[in-house]
Amino acid sequence: MIFHVWSDGDPSVGIPGNNAEVNIASVEDLDPVDRKEYIDTIKKCPSTAFSQIWDESVHIASDEDVQDD
């Protein structure tokens, strides 16, 4: 499963946002009950890491979240 991580940047001063994709293949093998909890937990890790790396708040969505929109 791919997780999309992005930040908004600051368009008012011309600073673009950042983006990254994190592939965590082990999610595919989990049963549906454990899978939802695991995905919610996984989202916290890249979100925290990229927020610290980019020094700004970030958004995160799984490829399934993106497909649902």
Domains in the chain, number: 1
Q: What is the mean pLDDT of the chain?
A: 89
Establish if 18 belongs to a structural domain. no
Q: Is the pLDDT of residue 7 over 90?
A: yes
Residue 38: C-alpha distances to residues 16, 24, 42, 45, 53 (Å): 31, 11, 6, 11, 23
Q: Containing domain of residue 47, as a range?
A: 2-11+26-68
Distance CA 14, CA 29 (A): 42
Establish if 20 belongs to a structural domain. no
Token reading at 61: 């969505």
Q: Tell me the whole-structure pTM to 2 decimals.
A: 0.81
Establish if 16 belongs to a structural domain. no
Establish if 30 belongs to a structural domain. yes
- 3-state SS class at 59: strand
Q: Which residues partner with 59 through β-bridges?
A: 6
Q: Is the pLDDT of residue 37 over 80?
A: yes
Give percent of the chain above pLDDT 70.
97
Q: Is the pLDDT of residue 28 over 80?
A: no
Q: Is the pLDDT of residue 26 over 90?
A: no
Over range 10-19, report the average pLDDT.
94
